[in-house]
Structure 1
Amino acid sequence: MYLHRLELRAIGPYPDTVVIDFAALAASGVFLLEGPTGSGKSTIIDAVVFALYGGLAGESSTPDRLHSQHADPATEPFVELVFETGAGLFRVRRTPQYDRPKQRGTGTVRQQASAQLFRLAHPADPAGEPVSSRIPEIGLEVTRIVGLDRAQFLQTVVLPQGEFARFLRSPGEERRKLLQSLFGTQVYDRTADELAARRRAVLAEVEGAESRVRDAQSRFAQAAGVEDPDERAVDDVVAGLRSVAAETDEHRRAAVSDAERARERERSVRERVTARERRAALLDRRRALDAAADEVTAARDRLALGERATRVATSADALDAARARAAQATDAAASQRQGAGLDADTDVVGLRTALADCLSDVRHLVAVERTFATRRRSAADAAVRAEDLAARSAALVDALERRPAERATIVESARTAAALAADAEPARVEVERVAQLRADLSTRVTAARAQEQAERAVASARAAATAALATETDLRARRIAGLAGELGAALQPGDACPVCGAVEHPSVAVPQDDHPSADAVESAASAARAAEAALAAAATDLALAQQEHERLRTVLGDLDADTLEARATAAAERVRAAHDAAVQVLDLERRRSAHDEQTRALEQERTTVASEHAVLVSSAAAESERLAQDTAAVDAAVRRATGALDAGTSASTDTAAGGSSLADAVRALDDRVAELDAVLAADVRAATAAASVAERQSEVTEVCAEQGFESVERARAALVPAAEGERLRAVVATADRERAVVDAGLTEAAVAEAARTADEPLDLTAAVAARDSAVERADAATRVAVSAADRLEAAARCGEDVARAVRARESTSARSRAVVRLADVAAGSTSVNPSGITLGTYVLMRRFEDVVAAANDRLRGMLGGRFTLETSEERETGSRARKTGLALAVHDHTTDTLRAPGSLSGGETFTVSLCLALGLADVVQAEAGGVALGTLFVDEGFGTLDPETLDDVIGQLARLTAGGRQVGIVSHVEELKQRIPERIAVRRTPGGGSRVTTTV
């Protein structure tokens, strides 16, 4: 992370506002925070840590020291920090808890702490996007954004005075917790847990596989009909059953073959007997057909003659019908011409052509004639509409002249209501504040009851803890007093006494009846510890309840329910008034918008009315002229149509056009044309009928010659009546079918074979008896073979199940061995992992080695190369903690010995601790997905260094800036002022506070 800007006020020794631009200070990489001891250098570090985490850098520091004693008590203290991480740019602002003067009366009121977090678009963004204003949420969010909690931040970014050497002196267990949180190696611990779970799972699978083998053996024994077979004997049992099944199947096949031969013999005898009987029946039927052959031949000849006569009669009937149609068509044509008033020699085609030409010229004007009445009415209506539009245009002009004054009245009313509605937000804030105070007033009573309950719980827990401790003490005293009896009870004759070593025991002590056991003492100790924990939890609850009750008393002060009720009523009245005004503003705004919209509508309507009036006057004049032209054209067409109709009508008819309209004249012309079309069609039909008579006459003459008849009369005499024809055809068809059936039957193979073997004797009864006997023997052999095959199949299937179960057990066992071993190695089981180091610790050891290597890389250039750090898997000297593999020792190359970190001098401790802290920061930043540590603070410790070592340390710090990092050195050493030009100078003021001067 990178720091951009820090702003604080009324914090520590700074009564006024202090602004520090870290981005400008760190442009060269290293800057100095210098000043006399106690002037307030560490307060700036505390402000950075407080802004991020709500706590201070030093472990012993408390937030109470933040509020400046030199500032006006009414001045609100705050710290604001702008910082940047991979998650974005943020600004956090915190106000510590402080006491401010009461607004009414004397005394002070405790003002609670507050915090705000914003996401910024750029470092100078004055507003930003709010993220949260709740202190717990901001703490979690800052930890997520930075990627470090407060303890990790103090070990890698801010190395406060007396704190950054803790990593060097801390035992391995504390190093393990810090490294685990920094490098995120919890995944390896979860891996070890997962391996342990899989170890349990595969052991359960092994047991399940063994159980499945036993179940498969049991099913195999039942299927094979054996008792308790060994899994190795399964194949032998199956082989024996297969031999038995093969033998019985051979017997079955022989019996089935015998039965099949008997069935074939019985079927052959039966078919030959049937064929002999069928041949005798067919011969009888053929003799009957031969006797009726002459009658069938006569019927066939009579049918042939009748068919030839029918062809001639059909053509003659068609000739008679054609003659009748020709006479009818000729009469109809003469009648049609007479009805039309036409002579036989009149040119009907020419007359129709003349009338059709006249129709094509005048027909289109009929539609024009029909529009005359409507067009005359429309002209009258247009004149009336023009007068109405002129009147409407004048009325619209008057209405538009009155609109501006009406709008001014609405706007003035809206301005008055808006001024009253502006009080809505202050009134709402006052309502929320009063509601919160009322809730706090109600909560204060609940908090008082909770405090009383917590006090009673503490008293009860204290009594229980005292009783449990007394019980444990009593049991331990009784056990110590009775140890002689316990030792005596364990002695056997000839055993050496554990106290004096003698093998003779003349007076052996015996245990007392109420002597407590070790388990009883341990149980009492556990109960005592549980009681102590319960007491501590109850005390914590009491402290929280007291703190909450005190907070509510501080917040409420002297306020009572009546005062809050009066404030609530007044605030609610303000809110209602502002709300009503806001509603009125909206209503007036809608009215103004509606008024403007109506004005625009009136202006649009005025324009539309004027345009419509002008168009209407112009179109009316044009339409009047077109109507006069169309009327003249229609009158001319009427005269022409009437003349044409008179010329196409004879004097003897009464078809002259009636009326004076063009539609009537056209209708009369259409009727006359249709009448002429009917005359022409009748003439065509008469000519066609005459041609058809000649064609049919020729066809009759030709058919008589083809069928062998001299005349139509002779052919009609040879016709066969319908009933007689049906009878004759039935006789012929029946004889033909019977003859075909008999001939086909006699040519069948079985019937022909029966004719050749007619003298051979056949015994069907003996063949049936032999078949039944053979079938019974085959059924018995089949049942035996099927039973043997079923047993073999079941045994083979169960044998395969046994083999699969055995293979699965072996595979599971082989797989489980690898999982069990891997789980034991990851868990540090000494049976397979002699070092006893778990997987998570092993990974941390490698990371710790990287940290130590990075620290040694810097330490080699300091202190004359005298010291290097080394890791060890053993417990650190003097440590009673469990073995973590993260022990640390200092290798003194001068004496070639290993020293404990606590044996270093002050300057040596500072230098080694600084290198270790810088190495830790480097490895954290270099880790994939690690935290980007762009800013580093080192607080004090430089005064313990000699000039040469100081040069080495400054050189190592300067190396950090090559990668874009910022390093801030907090020190009062005078020599550093000459080495580092960018600095923050802190100086005391005569008034007792301090001021800050920044040099860039």
Structure 2
Amino acid sequence: MYLHRLELRAIGPYADTVTIDFAALAASGVFLLEGPTGSGKSTIIDAVVFALYGGLAGSDASSDRLHSQHADPSVEPYVELVFETGAGVFRVRRTPQYDRPKQRGSGTVKQQASAQLVRLASPTDPAGEPLSARIPEVGAEVVRIVGLDRAQLLQTVVLPQGEFARFLRSPGEDRRKLLQSLFGTQVYDRTAEELAARRRAVLAEVEGADARVRDALARFSEAAGVESAAESDVPGTVDHLGAAASAAEAARVEAATTATTASEQETLLRARAAAVGRRRELLARRATLEQQTESVEAARRRLDRSARAARVVGFADSLDAARDRAAAARADAATLRERHGLDHEHDVEGLADRLRTAADAERHLVDTASRLDARATALDAARADRAALDERLADLQRQLADRPADRLALVARATDAAALAAGATGAAHEVERLAGLQRERDALAVATAQVSVAEQTVVAARTAAESALGIERDLRDRRIAGLAGELGAALADGTPCPVCGAVEHPAPAAPQDDHPTAEAIDAAAERARRAEQTLADAAADLRVAQAEHRRLTESVGALDDADLAAAVERAAAAVQAARAAADLVSGLDRELTAHDETTRALERTRNDVDTRRAVLATSIDADAERLEHDLGAVRAAVERLTALPVPGSPELPDTAGIAVAVRTVDSAVAVLQSIARADAAVEQDDRVVADRAVEVDAALEEHGFTDVVEARAALLDESTEHALRRTVEDATTAWGIVDAGLAEPAVLAAADDMDTDFDLDAAAADRAGAAAVLDEATRAAVTATDRAAAARRCAADLAAAVRARDETSVRSRAVVRLADVANGATAVNPSGITLGTYVLMRRFEDVVAAANDRLRNMLAGRFTLETSDERESGSRARRTGLALAVHDHTTETVRDPRSLSGGETFTVSLCLALGLADVVQAEAGGVSLGTLFVDEGFGTLDPEALDGVLVQLSRLTAGGRQVGIVSHVDELKQRIPERIAVRRTASGASRVTTTV
């Protein structure tokens, strides 16, 4: 991750907007963030961390100190950071929660925190593509983009004051948590947990398999009828039970054969005895039937004659009924003709067809005639509606004629108001411009005072610098002048002179009493350097103040307070007038819209009325013409119908309506049709009488009767016929039963056994004894068979359970061993180190190796770091394998990291942090760590150690890394030209000056 630009406002001690271009500062690799203690250096680091994660760099820092107490409470505090990763360039902007003054009334209201994340096409892209404006989403997206969370960033990218040494001093368990989050080794812990879960599962499966074997063995013992059986006894027990079942089944088969034979013998004897008894009974019934034969034949003959006579009488009754119907029809037809004055010469069917045709031709006019009065009334009403529409149309035309003039007046008023409102934007801009001008006039006065103060400071600093330089030059000149005395004081007899080489010194020069020493000259040079630095700082401050003064002077110009106040008053009045005009324009626009809507509504109503009037006029003319036509058609139809000859009715008057005329003709047609139907019925009945007479003659001849009287005499009454028929049927049924019974094979065979005596009791006793033996044998066979079958099933279940137990046991061994190894079970893993810890140990060894690579060149190669899988001293925590010790090569001892001095702790912690960053960048998913901040700690180093640290930091910049050092050490100011200087102002706030 590379930082490009940081911008903040109203944050910490910074009341105004502060912009830091990290890309320009880091061009040479290393830059310095310096300033007095408490001036706000760490606030810049906090701002970077807050922009990314919404929290501060220090573990115990509170975000309440973010909102500046030096800024106007109404000014919104914010931090905006532009950074770049492998995923692209992004801008994140955050505002902390703060209290702002209420817009109305007194007091404050809490303003909630906010966040925005934007993807940029380049670091200078002003717009970009918004990604999210929700705090949780921005936080999650930043972690995804950077590849580090806040805790990881504070161990690899931003090393805040007192924080990055924590990794050196922390116990192994804390290191494990950090390394696990950095290197993403949770998968190995989850793997160990999964293996442990599978170990529990397979052990549960083994236990379950054992339980199933025990259960199957118990069920086998119960089925086999033994108290307790061992697995080895099962096959022999199954064979024994099978043999017993086979023997019991053989005994049952033998008993069944004996019982079947006895039962069949008994059945046979009983069947023969029953056949003999049945034969004797049938022979007796046949003798009785032979005695009743003559009377049965006489009854059969009487029934036959009565049946033949019934058929003849039926035809005769039909003939009599037909003759009665024919006489009645003839009388009805004569009555109808007499009633309507028609004799047999009239053609009633032809007259009916003529009248029906004429009525059908005029029938459709009946409905037309019924609606003539209503149509005339509707026509009158339509004429009245047309007159009303004419009046309504004239009124609408008068209203529409006045509308254009009214609209023109509204348009003129709106145009005038719009012209006045058009100047609102310009007037508002003028107000803003004058307000800004007023602020710059106020700032000009402040800038003038600042320039005066800065000029005085420069004069004082220049005087001090010149004095310090004069003192330094004087000391150097005096020392040069007195070098002979200094050399003479150092000469001794026998010692070669450093100038001429002589060993004799006859007249050495004596040193002066006020001869300056080298330490005094160095001190004077340091004071001169500091004075020059102070002068340079004062001169830079003066240039900044003068530039601001020039900018404000050019911006304000020669405008005085009176002119500015008058201009402000005129601009405010113009704004007020333009706003009033804008309100009037809005009202007139609404009035004009309403006027146009009303006009369009009147036009739609006018067009609708005009259309309805035209349609109604056309409809009235057409309806009047159709009414006149229909009246003529009805009158002509009535005349035609009254001219028809209607039998049995008086002639229709000329004034009769069409409906009456049609009904009269329909009635006459109905009468003629009824007469025609009566004549047809007479002819039909005569034909039926002739047909029935022929049928009677044929029936007399067929059934042997001379006439109908003889046939009627042969008929039997119902009771007599029923008694005779019952006698015949009973005899016939009895003969059938006797003949069928005597023809049965058993009855025929019984003829030979008529004199035999059957001992049925003995046969029954034999059958009952055999059945009892069979029941006992069956019970024994079923019991033995069921027990053998149950034993075989339980033996099969037991065998399956034993196989499953053996397979589960074999399968579980590998899982149990692998889980024990991964989870550090001492039985199989003597080290007791889990899989996740083992992986972290290897990564930790890489981190320590990278740290030692830098540490060898620092502190004269005195220390190296060593890892250990033992518990940390003084710790009761479990063995993590991540213990850390310091090897002191001077004394060849191993020391606890907490025993190091302040400078040693800083150097070792820095190397460890840099090594951790190297390994993370190389292995933690390709995370790019392009920027590094180190906050304080350099003041604990001596010059030699400081040189070693700077050399290592320079090695980082050679690979393209940016390194920011936060310190107030003067030595660093001389060595690092790119810097961010933070200084307190007179108001207590801080300001930032960037030197590139």
The two structures share one fold, judged by TM-score above 0.5: yes
Q: How does 1:40-79 map onto structure 2 within 5 Å?
A: 44-57=44-57, 77-79=77-79
Aligned pair 1:351/2:357, yes or no? no
Q: Deviation digits for residues 691-711 of structure 1, max 9, x if unmatched?
A: 333333444444444445555
State the match for 2:991 in structure 1. Answer: 993
Letter in 2 for 1:292: Q
- 3-state SS of paired residue (1:993): strand
In 2, are the aligned partners of 1:259 and 1:775 still within 8 Å (CA)?
yes
Aligned to 1:778: 774
Structure 1 segment 609-758 matched on structure 2, within 5 A = 611-613=611-613, 615-644=615-644, 647-649=645-647, 654=650, 656=652, 660-709=656-705, 711-712=707-708, 715-758=711-754
Give the secondary structure class of the aligned counterpart of 1:270: helix
2:284 & 2:244 partners in 1: Cα distance?
Answer: 61
Shift of 1:641: 1.0
Alpha-carbon distance change, 905 to 213 in structure 1, aligned in 2, over 3 angstroms: closer
How far apart, CA to CA, are the structure 2 residues paired with 1:60 and 1:757?
128
Residue 838 of structure 1, CA deviation:
0.9
Superposition deviation, residue 250 in structure 1:
3.4
* Equivalent-residue separation in structure 2 for 1:150 and 1:777 (angstroms): 96
Distance in 1 separating the partners of 2:690 and 2:108: 137
Residues 9, 18 of structure 1: 8 Å contact kept: yes
2:278 paired with 1:278 = yes
Change (3 A) 1:68 1:772: closer
Which secondary structure does the structure 1 equivalent of 2:268 belong to? helix
Q: Deviations over 1:670-711 (max 9, x none)?
A: 111111211222222222223333333444444444445555
Alignment of 1:828 with 2:829, yes or no, is: no
C-alpha spacing 1:32/1:280, structure 2 compared with 1 (3 Å): farther
1:18 positional shift: 3.4
Q: Is the 1:300–1:728 contact (alpha carbons within 8 Å) kept by the matching residues of 2? A: yes
Separation (CA, whole Å) in 2 of partners of 1:775 and 1:59:
101
Q: CA deviation at 1:301?
A: 3.8
State the shift of 1:642 in Å. Answer: 0.6
- Encode CA deviations 1:532-574: one digit per residue, 9 max, x unaligned: xxxxxxxxxxxxxxxxxxxxxxxxxxxxxxxxxxxxxxxxxxx
Q: SS at 1:368's partner residue?
A: helix
| CA-to-aligned-CA distance 1:410-464 (integer Å, 9 cap, x gap) | xx9xxxxxxxxxxxxxxxxxxxxxxxxxxxxxxxxxxxxxxxxxxxxxxxxxxxx
Tell me the residue number matched to 2:422. none
Q: Could you tell me how far 1:946 is from its partner in structure 2?
A: 11
Q: Do the aligned partners of 1:90 and 1:117 also contact (CA within 8 Å) in 2?
A: no
Give a deviation string over 1:227-284, Cα, whole Å, max 9, x none. 5543422443444444444434433433343233222222221121111111111112
Shift, 1:345, TM fit: 2.0
**Max Rg structure:** 2
Whole-angstrom CA distance in 2 between matches of 1:757 and 1:827: 101
Q: How far apart in 2 are the matches of 1:710 and 1:111?
A: 137
Output the CA distance in 2 between the equivalents of 1:277 and 1:256. Answer: 32
- TM-score (ref. length: structure 1): 0.62
Match of 1:547 in 2: none
Aligned to 2:485: none
Q: CA RMSD in A?
A: 5.8
CA distance in 1, matches of 2:27, 2:191: 44
Identify if the C-alpha distance between structure 1 residues 119 and 920 changes in structure 2 by more than 3 Å, giving closer, same or farther: closer
Query: What corresponds to 2:338 in structure 1?
Result: 338
2:94 match: secondary structure:
strand
Q: How far apart, in 2, do the equivalents of 1:342 and 1:104 lie? A: 120
Q: Distance in 2 between matches of 1:748 and 1:83?
A: 120
SS at match of 1:925: coil
TM-score, normalization by structure 2:
0.62
2:361 matches 1:367: no
Distance of 2:597 and 2:904 partners within structure 1? 90
Per-residue CA deviation, residues 359-380 of structure 1 (Å, 9 max, x unaligned), is 1222111111111221232234
Name the counterpart of 2:329. Answer: 329
Equivalent residue number for residue 505 of structure 1: none
Aligned counterparts of 2:398 and 2:840: Cα–Cα separation in 1: 94
Q: State whether residues 889 and 900 of structure 1, in contact with CA within 8 Å, keep that contact through their aligned partners in structure 2.
A: yes
Q: Distance in 2 between matches of 1:689 and 1:76?
A: 123
CA distance in 2: counterparts of 1:850 and 1:664, whole angstroms? 125
CA distances 1:282-301 after superposition (whole Å, capped 9, x unpaired): 11222222333333334334
Residues 674 and 872 from structure 1, CA distance in 2 versus in 1: closer, same or farther, beyond 3 angstroms? farther
Give the AA of the match of 1:300: R
Please state whether the residue corresponding to 1:828 is helix, strand or coil. coil
Query: Could you say what secondary structure the match of 2:79 adopts?
Result: strand
Aligned equivalents of 1:704, 1:166: Cα separation in 2 = 143
User: What's 1:875 paired with?
Assistant: 869
Q: How do 1:100-179 residues align onto structure 2 when only pairs under 5 Å count?
A: 115-118=113-116, 148-158=148-158, 173-179=173-179
SS of residue in 2 equivalent to 1:994? strand
Letter aligned with residue 116 of structure 1: S
The within-5 A match list for 1:161-560 is 173-196=173-196, 199=199, 203=203, 224=224, 226-386=226-386
Label 1:859 to 1:113 Cα distance change in 2 as closer, same or farther (>3 A): farther
In structure 2, do the counterparts of structure 1 residues 282 and 828 end up closer, same or farther at CA, with 3 Å as the change threshold?
same
Match of 1:428 in 2: none
Match of 2:95 in 1: 94
Once residues 397 and 786 of structure 1 are traced to their aligned partners in structure 2, the CA distance between those partners, rounded to angstroms, is 116
Q: Does 1:767 align with 2:752?
A: no
| Equivalent position amino acid for 2:686 in 1 | A
Tell me the residue number matched to 2:931: 937
Shift of 1:919: 3.7
Partner of 2:513: none
Query: Equivalents in 2 of 1:11, 1:158: separation in Å?
Result: 19
Q: Which residue number corresponds to residue 569 of structure 2?
A: none
1:815-894 equivalent positions in 2, closer than 5 A: 815-844=811-840, 874-875=868-869, 883-885=879-881
Distance 1:327 1:702 in 2: 24
Q: Deviations over 1:178-200 (max 9, x none)?
A: 23123443354344345445545
C-alpha displacement of 1:666: 1.0
Q: Which range moves more in the overlay, 806-815 or 368-377?
A: 806-815
1:938 match: secondary structure = strand
What amino acid sits opposite 1:17 in the alignment?
T
Counterpart of 1:285, as a letter, is R
Q: Using the TM superposition, name which of 943-952 and 660-669 deviates more.
A: 943-952
Q: Matched residues in 1 for 2:328 and 2:369: separation?
A: 45
Q: Is the 8 A contact 2:867 2:885 kept in 1?
A: no
> What displacement does 1:669 show?
0.9
Number of aligned residues:
766
Please give the secondary structure, in 1, of the residue aligned with 2:8.
strand
Offset at residue 222 of structure 1 (A) = 5.9
Greater Cα shift, 314-323 or 34-43: 34-43
Once the 2 structures are TM-superposed, how far is the Cα of residue 344 of structure 1 from its aligned partner? 2.1
Aligned amino acid, residue 117 of structure 1: A
The 1:71–1:390 alpha-carbon spacing in structure 2 relative to 1, beyond 3 Å, is closer
User: What CA distance in whole angstroms lies between the structure 2 residues aligned with 1:655 and 1:21?
Assistant: 127
Bigger Cα displacement from structure 2, 667-676 vs 39-48: 39-48
Distance 1:936 1:358 in 2: 117
- 8 Å CA contact retained: 1:33, 1:984: no
Would the aligned equivalents of 2:8 and 2:77 in 1 still touch at CA under 8 Å? yes
Deviates more, 1:218-227 or 1:333-342: 218-227
Could you tell me how far 1:643 is from its partner in structure 2? 0.8
- Deviation for aligned residue 1:622: 3.5
For residues 241 and 17 of structure 1, do their structure 2 counterparts lie closer, same or farther at Cα, with a shift above 3 Å needed? same
Unaligned runs of 5+ in 2: 415-588, 888-893, 939-944, 968-976
- In the aligned structure 1, how far is the partner of 2:953 from the partner of 2:214? 79
Residue ranges of structure 1 left out of the alignment (5+ in a row): 413-588, 892-897, 927-932, 958-966, 974-982
